[in-house]
Structure formats: C-alpha cells, structure tokens
Amino acid sequence: MKHDLSKKGFATRQIHAGHIEVPGINPLATPIFQTSTFVFENAAQGAARFAKKEKGYIYTRLGNPNQDQVGAKVAALENAEAGIVLSSGMGAISTCFWTILESGDHVVANDTLYGATYSFLTKAFPRYGGEATFTDLTNLENLKSSLRSNTKLVFFETPANPNLNVIDIEAVAETVHAFDKNIKVVVDNTFCTPYIQRPLDLGADVVVHSGTKYLNGHGDVISGMICGKADFIEKCRSFGLSFVTGASLSPFDSFLISRGLKTLDIRMEKHCSNAIAIAEFLEGHEKVNKVYYPGLPDFPGREIVKKQMKLPGAMISFELNASKAKSEAFINSLELCALAVSLGDTETLIQHPASMTHNSYSKQALSEAGITESMIRLSIGLETVDDLIEDLKDGLEKI
C-alpha cells in the first residue's frame, strides 16, 4: 500500500519513502534486486520501454528498484520532485555537471571546494572548452562581478570543505536568478544532509550529495545523489548517467544506503551534540590556535547558520599552536580518532586537508581558499563524547 508522505515528519519519510512493493510477498525489509538486466514479457514491451512509451526496468545501469528507492527517499527528505543515486559523490557531480554544461559554457564556483570537485573544474572541464571562475561566494559582490552571459552553473558547498565557511543559499539563488533564471544553482549538501539544511527550499535548483558520508553513515559504501526537478533528474539519468559517466550504483550498495537512511535524524543529532562539546573543548585549550565550527558564538556567518541550518553540523577544523611536525605527531598519537579521509561515519576521523583531500590545490589556491598548512579536519563520530575529548586531550598534552 502506498502512503502519502508529503506532510509527514522527517523520521517518517526517512523510513517509509520509496517503499517497494513485491506482489504476493510484501516483505517488511526491501529485497535486493541483484540483477544486471530485466526480462520483457514480449518484444513489443522491450521496444516500448526503450522508446520510453512504457515505464519499466530495462538494465540496472539505467534503473533498478533498489536505486529508485534511495533516490525517492533522499528526494522526499530534500523536498525535491525526484532524485537519482550514483556510484560516488564525484559520479553525482560529474553526471550533474555534464548534463548542464556544454563546450563554451562558464561556471562560477566558490573558491573552497572538495579537492576532486576543484580538479574537475580546473583540469577536466577546460579540456572540453569550458571555463570556471573561482571566487569567495560569502561576498555577493564577488558573485555579481563573476556572472557572464555564458554562465550556466553556479556551484558551492555550505559549509565549505574544509574551512567551514557558510554561504547564504537564498541570497545567492536570488542574485543568480535575477541575472538569468536559466542558470542552475547547484549546492553540495553533503556536510549538512537534508536533516540540517534543505537548499531547494531556499531557492537552489539542484542538490548533490556524497552519499558515502552521512546519508549512508557507516563507512561501507561509496555513493552519490542528485535531487531536483523531475525533468532535470530524468535528463541526468537519460544523458549524464546513461551516455557520459555510467556511474551506476549497485543494488546491494543501494540497499545498504536505504538501510542507513532509516536512522539519519538520530545519528545527526548525536553527531552534532558530540561536535558542539568537542569544539568548545578545543576552543578553550591553550595549545589550539583557532577553531572553525559553525556552532561557536563567534563563528563568522553565525547569522546565516541560524537562518538556514537546523544544527551546526559535525565537521570541525582547527589549527594548533605548533609546528607542522608537531601537528603530525599529534594526529599520529590519537587512538580513537582514526587517521582517514572521508566523513560522516560512526567513527571519528581526522585528516590534514592541505596534504590529503586538497592536495590538488596549488599553494596560492590553498591560501586564497583559507586552507592553511596547519589546518586539521575532524569528522565527529558517534562515540561517547568524553572518550573523544580524552583522546584529543592526551594528544595535545604530548605536543
């Protein structure tokens, strides 16, 4: 039985949205449709599906019930018309971008982005006749001066990775659409998830995620999502995914994400409560020079945080009053905080952005993005917060 979930609460939607019915069986847990292809009843049906005159499954690269369930769940949580799941966050971004962009097009992007996204716009896109302008989108004047007649896409993360700068989604969307309503405003909502922030409600056109992170939440799947208007998502499926990237997620991985999504709100509450306590601890420690965290009272852009984010998130960056060698020794000495890239897992993760996730940035680009050599990034997990603080405290005492 299908449920009308449009007016139900977040937790209800994360559990029930995208329900798959199997006639005559009706299992509570969604089965895994581990198949590469689907059998047609006859040749006419196969032809009709390829011609898009009949809905139905053809081949798992083009669609699968497990994939569709995840896409529907995330779309319901983002208040989007439709969603599609991909095989990685970069699969989602590249599928989205190649669906929008052509040779000769121009992109405006925030100057602080995930390293692989930055590389896409600086290394891949220019090879096919495109150009990107990077600017600080926390200042709307920068945005206004960067827009051109051939601008087709404005892209940013908020909070940004890894300096946690927050960008006013509503103000950016209004500015861009006043210049040209056809420019797509695309927001990477990975750090927040739809539980904390919903960019489409604030005027953005498209939301992308690395589903590897909080949406799955257990560090065992690589995935990505795109959410937006139904016609755009269909273009992403029929062109960007089918003909360009082929970044199709497996049915089993789709099943794992759907399972992880059922506890998203509970996990995000715990992630954030842990992060608030740890940020306050770090800010009060004499060996910590600076803490970047949207939940701190003196955080730049705090009013924007209050306006568009339900919680301050669980990502923290900070700098130590120590040399690079001693900062490395601090990271190496930790026992509970795992030295690994990625984020949003049950485990707390720590890494050095300048030499790891953002090593594709030049020294000048790092400086312009506010990513210092001494910056350390924490993804706060679900452990007992006192144990995490004790681990950090022990590490700081060894400096």
The answer to whether the bond into 126 is cis (omega within 30° of 0) is no
Residue in 13, 49, 184, 213 annotated catalytic: 213
Contact 70, 17 (CB under 8 A): no
The answer to whether the bond into 251 is cis (omega within 30° of 0) is no
Contact 380, 318 (CB under 8 A): no
Contact 185, 173 (CB under 8 A): yes
For residue 32, what is the DSSP state? Answer: P
Contact 377, 313 (CB under 8 A): no
- For 101, half-sphere exposure in the C-beta direction (CA atoms, 13 angstrom radius) is 30
Residue 188 annotated in active site? yes
Residue in 68, 73, 105, 114 annotated catalytic: 114
Q: What are the Cα distances from residue 144, in Å, to 154, 165, 218, 330, 368?
A: 11, 19, 40, 42, 19
Residue in 68, 105, 168, 188 annotated catalytic: 188
Residue 326 annotated in active site? no
Contact 254, 69 (CB under 8 A): yes
Element (H or E) spanning 68, and its range? helix 65-78
Residue in 8, 61, 307, 393 annotated catalytic: 61
Tokens 């049915």 — which residue?
251
Residue 61 annotated in active site? yes
Instruction: Say how many Å lie between the first and final Cα of the chain, rounded.
Output: 60
Residue 213 annotated in active site? yes
Supply the residues annotated as catalytic. Answer: 61, 114, 188, 213
